[in-house]
């Protein structure tokens, strides 16, 4: 029996290649079944995200061609072999553990991939595409991912402008955003990303103000929010707790006197202003007002860089943890030759591990 992984990722293939081979989550079972039959695999798990497509397989055939198996995912004539990587035995286990733990991600330590690995495994498990071999390996991968999150700091600290905005707002409002109102001025991509992160954290309502009222209405509808005409943004700001400004204006649009008037009308409740426009939308002296917290794009990027530096310092601890589990599972499943899987010891099929976070 041979355990292997064959796939491509953002490290080896540009997005125009990845999008040709991507598989929607609802189709993982169907494609997994096709791979198992076409590739004559004993077990298989297919993982497909925006940044990677990977096949984890077990085959009784020593000379099986994983690159040919991968081609079964696509009906196009595209040759994916120049973009593919291949690992087997303990190297494939180590790769899966790194992927599940967020160590192979574009953003080091990100946690979304753990849920995607779990979803892919559960889809294969429910379709009876896995057996004792992959059950043990994937359950251990999810346990390793949980250990990485709980025993190291590699996943701590926001690493994008949008997530940093959430982190800062959470600090100011004691982590409870459930009763807070978010306002976006200018519906640019970065501003939209900030609001998306804040909305995911449970912000109560979203207000969208934009020069184009139709664009404001479209974006507000996406978040179940309310569109505000740009001329009325100061009146609406009285309701807001967090304001994200990202217009393309060449000049300052919010001055100290404007915000001072807003603070007076809102009873001086704390107001977080996140200015991610370049040139800046909000005058710098606004931050001198009591209970006003102003952050510009440079402030956010400094925090992003610091958080990434702290994550990188945790890599050695993560790799040590992974190596311990690789050695353990290699001894159990691969016997004396980790690179060539041996007989799988008898064991009961376990329930999928529960991911935290």
Catalytic machinery residues: 50
Adjacency order of strands within the sheet including 242-245: 226-229, 205-210, 181-185, 242-245, 271-275, 292-296
For residues 242 and 203, what is the distance between their CA atoms, to the nearest angstrom? 10
The residues facing 59 across adjacent strands are 2
Computed over its alpha carbons, how large is the radius of gyration of the chain? 25
**Residue 17, SS3 per DSSP:** helix
For residues 178 and 198, what is the distance between their CA atoms, to the nearest angstrom? 10
Residues 6 or more apart whose Cβ sits within 8 Å of residue 88: 2, 3, 4, 5, 339, 340
Q: Rounded to whole angstroms, what are the CA distances from 270 to 24, 69, 181, 191, 246?
A: 42, 58, 12, 20, 20
Residues 40 and 59 sit within 8 Å (Cβ to Cβ): yes
164 token code pair: 């940093």
Adjacency order of strands within the sheet including 52-59: 43-48, 52-59, 2-9, 85-88
| C-alpha 228 chain-centroid distance | 31
Q: What is the DSSP letter of 254?
A: B
**Residue 39, SS3 per DSSP:** coil
């Amino acid at each position: 029996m041979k355990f292997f992984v064959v796939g491509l990722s953002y490290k080896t293939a540009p997005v125009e290649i990845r999008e040709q081979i991507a598989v929607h989550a609802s189709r993982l079972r169907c494609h997994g079944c096709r791979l198992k039959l076409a590739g004559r695999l004993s077990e298989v798990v297919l993982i497909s995200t925006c940044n990677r497509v990977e096949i984890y397989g077990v085959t009784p055939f020593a000379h099986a061609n994983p690159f040919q198996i991968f081609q079964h995912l696509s009906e196009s004539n595209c040759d994916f072999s120049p973009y593919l990587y291949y690992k087997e035995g303990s190297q494939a286990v180590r790769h899966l553990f790194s992927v599940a733990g967020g160590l192979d991600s574009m953003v080091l330590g990100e946690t979304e991939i753990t849920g995607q690995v779990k979803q892919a495994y559960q889809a294969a498990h429910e379709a009876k595409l896995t057996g004792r071999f992959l059950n043990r390996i994937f359950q251990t991968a999810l346990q390793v991912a949980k250990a990485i999150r709980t025993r190291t700091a590699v996943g701590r600290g926001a690493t994008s402008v949008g997530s940093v905005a959430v982190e800062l707002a959470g600090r100011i409002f004691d982590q409870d955003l459930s009763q807070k109102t978010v306002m976006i001025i200018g519906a640019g991509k970065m501003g939209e990303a900030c609001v998306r992160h804040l909305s995911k954290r449970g912000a109560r309502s979203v207000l969208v103000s934009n020069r184009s009222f139709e664009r404001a209405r479209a974006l507000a509808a996406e978040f179940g929010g309310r569109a505000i005409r740009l001329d009325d943004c100061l009146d609406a700001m009285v309701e807001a707790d967090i304001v994200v400004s990202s217009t393309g204006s060449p000049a300052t649009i919010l001055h100290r006197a404007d915000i001072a008037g807003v603070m007076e009308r809102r009873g001086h409740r704390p107001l977080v202003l996140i200015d991610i426009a370049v040139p800046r939308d909000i005058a710098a002296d606004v931050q001198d007002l009591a209970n006003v917290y102003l952050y510009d794009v440079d402030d956010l990027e400094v925090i992003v860089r610091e958080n990434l530096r702290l994550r990188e310092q945790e890599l050695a601890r993560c790799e040590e943890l992974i190596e311990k589990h690789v050695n353990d599972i290699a001894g159990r499943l691969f016997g004396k030759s980790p690179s060539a899987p041996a007989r799988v010891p008898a064991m009961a099929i376990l329930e999928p591990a529960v991911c935290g976070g």
